[in-house]
Every structure is written in C-alpha cells, then in structure tokens.
Structure 1
Amino acid sequence: MPRIAIGGFLHETNTFGPSKASYADFDGASGYGPIRHGDEVFAHLSNVNAAIAGAIAEGRARGWEMMPALWCAASPSAQVTEDAFERITGALIDRIAAAIPLDGVFLDLHGAMVTEHLDDGEGEILRRLRDRIGPDVPVAVALDLHANVTPLMFAQADLLESYRTYPHVDMIATGARAATVLAQMIETGRKPEKTFLQAPFLTAISWQSTWTDPARGLYARLAEIAQDVTALSFNMGFPAADFHDCGMSVLAYGPRADGAAHAMMDAVAAAEPDFRGRVYSPADGVAEALRLAAHARRPVVLSDTQDNPGAGANSDTTGMIRAMLAAGAPGAIGNLFDPAAARMVHQAGTGATVRLALGGHSQPGDTPLESEFTVEVLSDGTFPCPGPFYGGRVMQMGPSAALRIGDLRIALTSAKAQMADREMFRALGIPPEEEKIVIVKSSNHFRADFQPISEAVLVCAAPGPMAVNPATLPWRRLRPGLRLEPLGAPFNGDPA
C-alpha cells in the first residue's frame, strides 16, 4: 500500500492589490474556512470543487494510505505576509516530513503566490519540501490555470498539472489526473521527461475564459496534443504579479514532451491577436444593459472586472453602483465588501433605514457612497454554494445583508469572495434570475453559474486594482522583452 502525503496551500497574488493576506485570512477570514489539519482535510474537502478532492478520490480507488498534512486558501490579494507564509509552510513541510517514509507527495497549490519576502512562493515551498524528503520521492502538483510557473517550480516538482477550464470547473479532474501520473511514477519507478516554455506576451484575465475563443480553441487543441504525452498543461498566467516569471507557459511530460510543448506554444502564438475584447465604461455598460433589458426575458449580466476579489481587488469600489443610480437602473450588485457597514446594519435590524458611507475604502480615486439604505435581509453569511465553480463549498462571508437604494439591491458582506454562484445572491433574498440587470464583482468564474441564465454578458471597467489591460499597470520587474499586452510594446526593463 503506497504511503502518499497530501496537502495544499493556495493563494493568487496581485502585487498591485490594496491589502495583503495575513495568517488570519488563511484561517477563516476570507470565505474559505479555517486551515484544515490532518483528517479534517478528508472531512471537509473530499466533496468540493478542489484539486485535492480529485487526488483523494483517486488515492482511495488505488488503495493508497494517504497522510493528510494541511490544506488552506485565502482570497486573492496583495502579497502573502512573511508571517503567514512561514507559519503555514513550516507546518505543511513538518507534517509531510513526519510521515516519512513516503512513496509520493501530492500538493494542491495555486502557482501565483508572491510573498512579502519571496517572489516565488510555490517554488520555495517545493524547494523546502525537497530538502526534507530528498530527490527520489515523486512529487506531483495540481496548479491553477493562472499559475505563473517558474523554473524553480518546474525543477523541484516531477509533475505540474493544471486546470483546463476558466471558470475552473475541473479542479477535481485536475487533481485526479495529477494523482494518476503520480501512481505511474510509483509503479514504474521512473519519472517522465519534461519540457517548460514561457510565452512572450501577457493577456488580460477578462479574455481568458474557456467558454469563448481564443481560449476555448486553444484548450481544444491541447486536448488533441495531450493524447500523445503523459501530461500537458497550458497556463494562461496571472497578469498582475510584478516579478520576472509572470506570464503564460506550457508544460509537457513524457517521451514526446518537447514536440508537444512546442506544438502547443505555436498554437498560443498564433492566437495572440485574438486575446482582446470589448470593454465598456460604467455609464456605457449600464446604458447598453438597459437597452438589452428592455426586450429581454433574462438578466443582463455586467462584469465589474477591475474590482474582482478573485484577482486581488477588495470588492468594495462604487463605480458601477454610481452608474446604476445615475441611470435609475433596476438591478442587483454583489458582493460589496464592507465589514464596518455590515456591523452597522446588523445593529439597526431588518427594515431599518440606515445612513452609511458604503464601500470606496481601498481604491485611489474612489470614495464611499454616502446615502440612506434600507436593510431588507440580514444573514450570518454561512451557506453552501452548489454551483459548478464553488462546487458545494460552504461559504463563510460573515455578517451580511441585502440593502436597497432606489431600484438597486446590494449584497453586502464581511468577507471577500467573488460573486461566482447565484446562491450568494439568493442567501440574501435576491433571486438573480428575477433581476433586469445583475452586476458581479468577478471576471470569468461567474460565467459557470450566471451565463446560462443571462441574456448577455458585458465586461465593464470601473476603477479598480485588477487592470482589464495589463499594459496599464506600473510594472517594474518583469523580464525584458515580455509584451505587456497582445501585440503590444515589450517591457524594456525600466520601471514604469
């Protein structure tokens, strides 16, 4: 019976974001729940949309003796604090080392973690792991599609296997694929040949959805090429991490890895001109939504993409709210993160009219919306999200409320998590299917649950820290020559 250590530590870092991820954010303050240790990993993560769930299922089917270390995640933000990284990494590695002798290790990582003291969080985790378990124990890692893969990560892991969908609805399948290759390494005693390539341009996350081209076509091509190798991944990268290895990459494993990697990268290069799309200003987006909603039977969904907490924003900007109020447009928006306002409305009670300075606390140039709001619904913020992205995860959003101002309803929360499941509205008494216009603070994950009920989806760029065009960010540390947008100017090494 193979002895396999399993664990996970996930964070997507926007180095331009307004707030950092502390230990408390990983231990329950960000909507993902507390750090899970030991058998708690089995109890809480076996049946949710997470890569570790796929590894657990595959391991049970193969009769592995699995040794769970810990698993945790925090909402994307600015850098992980040194304290959080060192405490969590130390505990993760110590627990894995305590399980030695081991036949293999499976880790559920994101791939785009930057800390206060390290550019390459995952590379350092894997380096420290190797120092403890030695060079021979096979290590398989599941990564997010947005991983900024580094040479250190590639060198220290025997397999890096990434999601193939955005919205990420295949996390379980990814974990299972990685576990399958880990099993092959254990059974054969051999590790696969591997090739790693980095693409020469950045792409905005708003145009990375695998529900639309060019990403849809690229992942179809990946599925074709992958038939000839042990494993193949295309990472579209997270284009808001200011360090040398930010960007897209291809990873291939097996006897024909080099040819497969270059074939996939050729497809990526050919698709470069197509990684662009229509972006609306807040006023123009609301005007177009009203035009479409006049004859629609389903909601028009607007993506408030630059305030996406799934990409490191604070989910508290007011640009889209102001545009809706100026147009007198009916609808709903969520989530609006403002713990202080949530405390005030809970003290006031359901049905009360409360004067608030709502949101607008984190983005330069944005200001709180000062007005009176009606408190329609109060909640403790704990509920399951059954949609395809969260996959049954129990959210812990803290004291929450549905507020009304004019014809606009606002989902107010005390924790940050992007609006990617309709239940996040429903739990506050707002059925999104019945709204004319629905605004989500999300870039693409919302599509899995909202696009099937939408008349149209429009991408809007209200002020926020997750730039819809990465070329507008004040880059300082990228690798010279990397194009800052598709077909755009290369980074010349000088600080912006």
Structure 2
Amino acid sequence: MPPSRPRIAIAGLGIESSTFSPARTTAPAFHPLRGPDVLTRYPFLAPGQPLRAAADWQGALVGKALPGGTVTATAYADLTDELLTRLKDLGPLDGLWFDIHGAMTVENLDDAEADLLHRVRKVIGPDTVVSTSMDLHGNVSRALVHRTDLITCYRMAPHEDAMDTKERAARNLVDHLTSGAPRPLKAWIPVPVLLAGEQTSTRIEPARSVYAAVEDVEAAEGVTDAAIWVGYAWADEPRNRAAVVVTGHDEAAVTSGAQRLARGFWKARHAFEFVAPTGTLDECLDAALASAKRPYFVSDTGDNPTAGGAGDVTWGLRRILERPEFKDPTGPTVIYASLPGPAAVDTAVRAGVGARVTVTAGAEVDDRHAGPLTLTGVVHAVRHGDRDAETEVVLTVGGVQVILTRLRKPYHHEHDFTDLELDPRAAEVVVVKIGYLEPELFAMAADWKMALTPGGVDQDLTRLGHRRVRRPLFPFDPQMPDPDLTARIIAPSDAPLTGPDE
C-alpha cells in the first residue's frame, strides 16, 4: 500500500561554476539552510499550503550559491558530508526532493551532481523515490538520470518560472508516492548543442517555440513530465551540452515525446540568436548616447556574476571612464553596476558620504583583461547588510556613478539602485554586469544592447578554449552531421547503470 502521507526529505546544492573564471567558490557562499529552515525557501510549503499538508516534509540541507568559479574540493566535501549526515539522521524516507542547479563544477571531479546523488543513494537506499528539480542551464548526464526517478527543469529564460518548477517537482513526487504506481520510465537524449543562455532566451524565437512544445509533450497520456536543458556553456566537461528527458509510464509516449523535443531543438540550432542587439562596448555606448530613449541599458556580458563571472573585471568600467563625454559631471549620467573592491569600500565608508576619495578596486580575482582600477570621486551613498555584497558604496566619478561592493553582487531589481540613492529611470545610461536583462530591468529599459566584453563568461564561446566537451558539438563544429537523436530508455535507479554516457 502506498503511504497516505509520505515522508519526504529535501536536500541539494546549487551553483553555476565557470571553469573559465579563476575564481574559486567556498562553502559559505552556499548560504546553506538546515533542518526546518529548509522549508522556508519554498512558499508552496508554507504552513497551510495544500502541498505542505500532503506529505511529512523533512529538511536536510539545501545550499544555493551565486554563480561563480569552480567549487573547492574542501567546500564540496564539507557540505556533502553534512548533507549526508543530516539525511542519515532523518531515518527511513519514502521520497527525496533533490533541489539542485545542475552546473556545479568541483575541483578534480566531473559530473558533481551525479556524484552527489550517488552518495545520497548510499544513505537513503535504492527504494527511496527521488525527484530532481534543475535550472535549464544545468547538465544532464546518463548517470544523473539513472540515479533519479523524476526530473524536471525551468521552461523560461529568464527564469520567471523557477518556483513553479520546484513546486512541480515536489508535486510530481507526492503524486507518484501516493499513487502506488511503479517507478517511471525515463527517456533521455543528449543533444550535441552548446549555446549561451543569451542565445536561447524564451523571450524570442526559436526558443519560444522549442519550449512551447514541452507542455504539449507533457500533456500526452502516459507522460508525467517533459524537459529540455540548454546546458551550461561556460564550463568544460564532457557533460556540457543540451539534453531532453521525458518521464512517465508509457514507453511509446515518453520515447516519441523525447524524440520530438530533441529533434525540434536540433533543427532550430542555426536560428538561435542573441536576445538583444550586440556590439562592442564602444558601439553600445555610442548607440546609447545617440538614442533619445531613456534609460538605455547596456549589458557588460563577459563578467556577469549571475553566469559565473568573477565580477571584478575592470575592463568595461575602465573604457567607460576613459570616454571624454563621461568625464564631465554636467554631462550624461551613467550608472555602473558594479565592481568589487573591499579596500576601496572600507576607505569610502571611513570617509563618509560627501567626502572625496581616491581608491583602487577590481582585478583581485580576474586580472587577465585589465589590472586594478584607481578612481577619484565623491562618496554618494553607503549601504550595509546586503546578503551578497555585504557593504555597497556609490562613488561619483565625473558623470559616472560607480557602485563598489565588498563582495560581488548581481543588480537585478530597481530597489538595488534606489536603496543606494540612485535613480536608474532618470539616468541616460545604465551599465550592468549581466547577460539578458532580468524582468524588472527589462521592463524599466527604454532600449537595450548587449556588449560583447571579455571575462569568464565570454559570449564568444569558440574563443574560450573548450577542450573536454564531447565533439562534434555545435557551434564548435558547424558542419557536423546530424546526430543520433533516438531516445535512450534509462533503467530505474535501483538497477545497475549500463550503457555509455554518450
């Protein structure tokens, strides 16, 4: 008899790790939640919510880090050991919700999430049903699919459906455990395409139509879930590529659905384009100054901290400060977000708002493209207590309002600026270290261009130097023959793992 109220644990580690960034990620960056605090991450598991009442939810450990560099072996070992200990202490479980990102790279380890789930399986046993939720920029190997029972990912980029996806993964698990059905079938297809997220945004075609087909496949009789992973472009591992997985109880339905999605993605490969007009940084700034649209946003894409960039590349800000039109405080107003510089922040804090200071910031982690940058300006604002940055200051240098941070931080919301006494809507130009604009910025921007700048998440993938990805792979091999997109039916997780991770 299936349990009427199954006992389910929640565990996982999530990060995007660029192997092309010199940065390293340590354990505190994951801000792990433990025990009952884990449930506070998910609004749909708040007391009184139907899904909360449908199962006995037990938090183990869930840690999510800002995208960054490779995770140190020590950090992975420490977090994994604690996660496994907490799972062991929970005792017998009916299910596990494995909440991950899917693009975590660990020193001296390939396929970190599959390794983590392998270790988890040793604790929870083969009979515990596992449901995995992921970012669509995660990587899905045969080993990961084998070790989970249900698996799904976001269907929107930007990820406006992140919490909906997590709820779907949790609900699918509860529904399965209370149904008494046998373990689902899993049809997996690796697709030899590796594209940046900014080329595969669901705001535009062809990704909009490619992903629209997911719900059609999921709606078929005998299908539980369908998913397409774009993969993570800024790491160099054999698993980095697109993938499709369809789960359910009808082999013909999951097979045909997976093949439809994989072939649709492959067919569209040449049509994927950047989600916004692109150019060099100077070209984007020229366009912004020539336009009457305000505010005009420019993405400094190569050092995007939400894709894995170190965040402290000074190349872009240096070019901006060198332009004569931005040296005049009565000229165009530019906001630049942002540049880490702990010592610079300390100096500005000590001096206080209104003081004129000279500070040096940036290039402490990634100095490959430009060295540390010295700025002289007036302290406009100071703010303490940010979760990511810890302390932020604004330094006005000519017409440029530069945000300096103790630690790197993404700037995705209007309040990120207004909390610093900045008015992005009144600025002529807002330059943000980002790829595609997140929803609030996208809504605020009167116009927008993406600057193809250097850094650990360079949008020009072919110049980054991938050496370990499986070849042939589009776009590295643009004339490659059509691949075998036949669905591989992966054995249940309690069976031995067989077949190549092809």
TM-score, normalized by length of structure 2? Answer: 0.88
* Number of residue pairs the alignment of both structures matches: 461
Letter matched to residue 83 of structure 1: T
- Aligned equivalent of 1:244: 238
Letter matched to residue 318 of structure 2: R
1:270-285 to structure 2, matched below 5 A, reads 270-277=267-274, 278-285=277-284
Letter matched to residue 247 of structure 2: Y
- Aligned equivalent of 2:288: 289
Contact 2:388/2:409 (CA < 8 Å) preserved in 1? no
C-alpha RMSD of matched pairs (Å): 2.0
1:183 aligns with 2:174: yes
CA-CA distance at 1:330 after TM superposition: 2.3
Q: CA offsets per residue over residues 50-82 of structure 1, 9 Å max, x none? A: xx86999563142x1111111212221221111
1:19 aligns with 2:16: no
Larger radius of gyration: 2
> 2 CA distance for matches of 1:372 and 1:312?
29
- Aligned equivalent of 1:212: 204
Contact 1:398/1:413 (CA < 8 Å) preserved in 2? yes
The 3 A distance-change label for structure 1 pair 396 and 317 is closer
Larger displacement relative to structure 2 (309-318 or 140-149): 309-318
> 1 CA distance for matches of 2:47 and 2:194?
31
The equivalent position to 2:11 in structure 1, one of 1, 7, 11, is 7
1:350-389 to structure 2, matched below 5 A, reads 350-361=353-364, 362-382=366-386
Aligned to 1:203, what secondary structure does the other structure show?
coil
> 1 CA distance for matches of 2:150 and 2:102?
13
The 3 A distance-change label for structure 1 pair 22 and 57 is farther
> 1 CA distance for matches of 2:468 and 2:47?
36
- Aligned equivalent of 1:40: 37
Aligned to 2:390, what secondary structure does the other structure show?
coil
1:76-91 to structure 2, matched below 5 A, reads 76-91=67-82
The equivalent position to 1:99 in structure 2, one of 46, 65, 90, is 90
Identity score, percent: 29
CA-CA distance at 1:363 after TM superposition: 3.4
CA-CA distance at 1:481 after TM superposition: 1.2
The 3 A distance-change label for structure 1 pair 41 and 82 is same
Aligned to 1:110, what secondary structure does the other structure show?
coil
Larger displacement relative to structure 2 (434-443 or 219-228): 219-228
Q: CA offsets per residue over residues 128-162 of structure 1, 9 Å max, x none? A: 11111221110001101100111111110001110
- Aligned equivalent of 1:387: none
1:159-238 to structure 2, matched below 5 A, reads 159-189=150-180, 190-228=182-220, 229-238=223-232
Q: Which runs of 5+ in 2 are unaligned?
A: 327-331, 482-502
TM-score, normalized by length of structure 1? Answer: 0.89
Q: Which runs of 5+ in 1 are unaligned?
A: 27-33, 383-394, 491-496
CA-CA distance at 1:485 after TM superposition: 4.6
Contact 1:420/1:449 (CA < 8 Å) preserved in 2? yes
Letter matched to residue 137 of structure 1: T
Letter matched to residue 69 of structure 1: A
> 2 CA distance for matches of 1:481 and 1:118?
23
> 2 CA distance for matches of 1:141 and 1:58?
20
- Aligned equivalent of 1:422: 414
The 3 A distance-change label for structure 1 pair 153 and 420 is same
The 3 A distance-change label for structure 1 pair 484 and 324 is same
Larger displacement relative to structure 2 (351-360 or 79-88): 351-360
The 3 A distance-change label for structure 1 pair 420 and 57 is farther
Aligned to 2:159, what secondary structure does the other structure show?
coil
Letter matched to residue 408 of structure 2: K
1:74 aligns with 2:65: yes
Aligned to 1:93, what secondary structure does the other structure show?
helix
CA-CA distance at 1:105 after TM superposition: 0.6
1:297-316 to structure 2, matched below 5 A, reads 298-316=294-312
- Aligned equivalent of 1:338: 341
> 2 CA distance for matches of 1:470 and 1:489?
17
Q: CA offsets per residue over residues 449-474 of structure 1, 9 Å max, x none? A: 11111111201022211110211111
Contact 1:58/1:176 (CA < 8 Å) preserved in 2? no
